[in-house]
Structure 1
């Protein structure tokens, strides 16, 4: 794919964009194979490919420039904004709305945040697009003054972006290298519905969801296929987020309904998962808890037949890996990882499990990042 921003040296985020896509995918598969030598060659399923453009369902845009003349994109090496409103990896729906958001922000007269000078108001705009084309818009600002100004302009914003189902303002008063603060003020709507087949996942402003919707569908489908093959009577989805794995894997077991429990630290995500379960008629339960603490505190009779883990980049860690290793009741584990290095460390701490199948999911074309999922079965 030819990218004018990359060729001009304005943005190097897609570091592999000049590498043919087939070669990118081959290198990712090779990297995983080398990091996970215990996975037999025959256990690797063909990698799940992505489109090479129009694949990102979420844009996290830095607001730069000056009041009345904003840029939406990234920060350059000098700390000034670089406008990337025509970035080709964003979904077409996101690309179409960025100029309208720029016009709206320019009309507010609010000053973009100047990182080197540590002054200004507008920090980021986050845009998420659902399969339906509906949008979630989030504005990250520094002060109450900016919040009040955006609130006053809500009517104009909704008229300019009628597909905005959710609009919120996040306050980040501190000078920090983070994308959002703790406080979120809702201006319109409450959640964005991500319809994935028969299941709708409901995203609130601070919810996590994979940035590549078609590849996310393939990931959930693969996990559900592995679960159907095992047909466990009970299943835990640890780090469940808004319930994607749990809900897709909650099909009927042989002769009785499978017991499915999701565990997630975010209360808002758990509420969303419960709503999705109700709407889909799925008898899954969801609890607010730390995944490791929940597992370590579980009674022996509550241990599931199968556990799904989808941790952050750091992996599940020593304690949870050790718990899975010694919990004889857990016969199978499905581990979805965005970091093959931490996955390799965790698998080394679980020698009683053998990889039955593994698969690379290319969530992030043109970068070295990837998702890899493995199905582990306890050796007999």
Structure 2
């Protein structure tokens, strides 16, 4: 399907234009202990709150979000690896890898994300790139690809370095990309995972404090302070919170989620039914009606509900024959810079192809205008 806007099928179910909503005014005065913080909606690509969101700061073990994202792009989860002695005894937090033991990619990712094992980070970086140094180059390339302009990696684990930094907003965007990976989201949502002979316990206390929290990663070094990235979902809406150098990080995150979600309610944006029509070439009719199924009531603030755009996307014209019930294109609901919902759009009726033209002028007429 070509992603072109169809003028004949454009549907504006709301009268308000799509705008960049920016930081929510209601959250501007939120009390957050962090030096840098952000609250992010990855679906809409919108920041709801920030505090020094573009200030470069050390990130400690939240670095491992990027490490895991790259590992998932390069190594199969079930692949087995023999641990080399040089990957053991790494400084800082550890899952106590032993030279010669065999673990899967999945085992190592659990050790990386739940137990924050620096040895798991080194092992995975070497498995992907041959060395941690080469892996860091890959990390920085991925950062550039994701548009993280204020981020630079110097290790796969998050140990302090003069050139190892990020911002609250960059880290939120990175986490949004990682949470799109089902395997990543599944691992970071678990309080405890048993892999082989190991039982991995998640350091993320928020998973116990709130049923809505579904990830993602803690971090701490003396230089970086307490760093925390979390994700929470209510009524289907996912938000990501980031705090860097935050003495009261658990409460910072809970307050941000409670404040943000309390401003939201289900807003009826879409109801199933007719959504316009498309032009038909060489058919018995020149137009075909379109429809979609189901309804959509996203969890939004009142202002957001007034800034939603609903559009039908598909080819500008279709050639007969078309069959009732076949997919024409898609209906998309947009908020901010992101698509927050998409559903198929179908042909409501069958339009048969015109029989062969009897003469030259009839052929020209049918080619230009189709049927009746």
Bin the TM-score by the shorter chain: under 0.3
Report the TM-score when normalising by structure 2: 0.24
Larger Rg: 2
| TM-score normalized with structure 1 length | 0.24
